[in-house]
Structure formats: C-alpha cells, structure tokens
Structure 1
Amino acid sequence: MRWSDMDAYGHINNVEVLRMLEEARILAFGPPGGTGAPGAEPPIALFNAVPANAQSLVSEHRVKYLAPLEYRNIPADVDIWISSIKGASLGISYLVSDPVTGVPCVKAETTLAFVDGVSGRLLRVSEEQRELVRPWAGDSVFA
C-alpha cells in the first residue's frame, strides 16, 4: 500500500484496489509478453508459455468490497489463484486481507484472455498453459 493510494477516509481507494490486483497478478504470473527488463522468475511463469505475438487482456473484473482496507505502511495480504480454465480465457480469483487484523477486505475475480497481437483473434488456452496453472487452481472466490 502506498500513501497516495489512500482516500479522504483513510481507506485504500477503490481504483487503487484494481492496481493492487494487477500487481499481484504480475508478481504471480510474470509480465505479459516478456515486457520489461529481466528480473526474478514468477512462481507461475504463465506468460512464458504463450506465443511471442500474444497479448494478455483483461476482459472482465468483478470486485466486492467486504470491509474498508485501511492504509498501513506494510503490504496488504493478497491470495491469488486460478479459478477457471476455459477454452480461451482464465479466471483469476483474489482475496485481499488487512495485513494486521487478517480481516478479508476485498474479494475479486479477473477474466484474462489471450489475443493474437497481429490479427486480434482470441487464442485458445494451450495444454501447456493448463498444466502450468492446474496446481494453483481452486474454486471461484464468489462460489
């Protein structure tokens, strides 16, 4: 959490919560398309298993605010897992909790699709990608 993420009430602003979800997704799966300079290998190198011209696009976010996430000078706890594997998309679930009290503050889900960067056509989730994420699969946070 950053000081600038806070709103006038001392809570993390809802727009910044989506940024936190994005950061959790990148930390877990790596940067899409090999963008950026080399760094640490992510726990699930999902984006290493896509064609070079593929783009990963967010097609949907669903967010439910359960309790205020108050600003603290330490990172929030974000649990992240794969909640669905479909033909051309992955569902990613998140549970964001207060790092001191452990109280769940946000539950969310992102649908991520892979698209051919040249043609704009959807790409099927490959068997390699399915095998890569299967160990981290679980139920939807909204189940």
Structure 2
Amino acid sequence: MRVRNLITLMVAAIWLALPSGVAIPQADDVPSSASISVRLAGTRLYFEGEPSFFNYSVRVTGPNGYVGEVFSARRAPSFRLSDHGAVDDGVYRYEVTAATGDVVQHSSPHSRRANGREASAQVPRIGIASDGSFRVVNGQIFASSEAESET
C-alpha cells in the first residue's frame, strides 16, 4: 500500500511540474498553393494573398536601424519605405504574415486558455508567412538579381 501511494505521489508531482501552457504549432496541411506574393515597384512593396487571408502584418528592416511595420485586418497591404524613416542604399529584409480561414484542429479549450483569454473567445487559425530581401539603390527598390546586374 505504501509503494502504491508513493508511486501516485511521484506521478502527481511530475504532472504538476510540467508546464500547463500548450503551444499550437502551425499545421503542415496548409495547401501548398496558398501563399503570399510580393511585387517590388519604385519605393513600394505590394503584397497579394488569397481572398480568405486576414490580419496581415508586414515588417521591413534595413541598414542603419531601419524598421517599419504595417498591419491590415482585411486585405493584403502595400508598404512604402519612406513612410517609416530615411531610405538608405543597402539590403532590406521583409516578412509578411497572415491568418488563414483554416482552424487549428488539435486545439483544446485548455490550450486556448493558456494566453489568459476565455477559451470561447477565440478560435486558433492556421497562419502563413513569407519573407525575402531586396536592395535599394539610389532610393529605388531592386530585386537582388536586378540590383547585382545594375552595379
């Protein structure tokens, strides 16, 4: 009887020591055709995604501490470099993320409550992301291969 109680106590201690929050990873079953594309033109980046995508977030970083961010709840945004600071020549990186209409199938009310909100207040969505880089030369955006051929 004592051994049984000791085992029960050990199992309970291990169970309590484990973190209770559960991360919800992105699912691998997002269709491969689903993507966010970018078009570079002049001093802007134009993003395009599926009509069902929403909550777009764009972050661009560049030389001399350049950082710019935009958010769009309903449609793919565009990003004008000069709206976020001085545009120096050099290599810039962008990252764009969005939520898809697909729901995470393996989430539980417990895991949804891990961020402090009511479990019924949200439905976890599958996200999608895209990133890349480009070069700015004389204030104009060039794709990396175009910028190398110009210099």
Of Structure 1 and Structure 2, the greater strand share is in 2
TM normalised by structure 1 equals 0.25
Instruction: Give the greater-gyration-radius structure (CA).
Output: 2
TM normalised by structure 2 equals 0.24
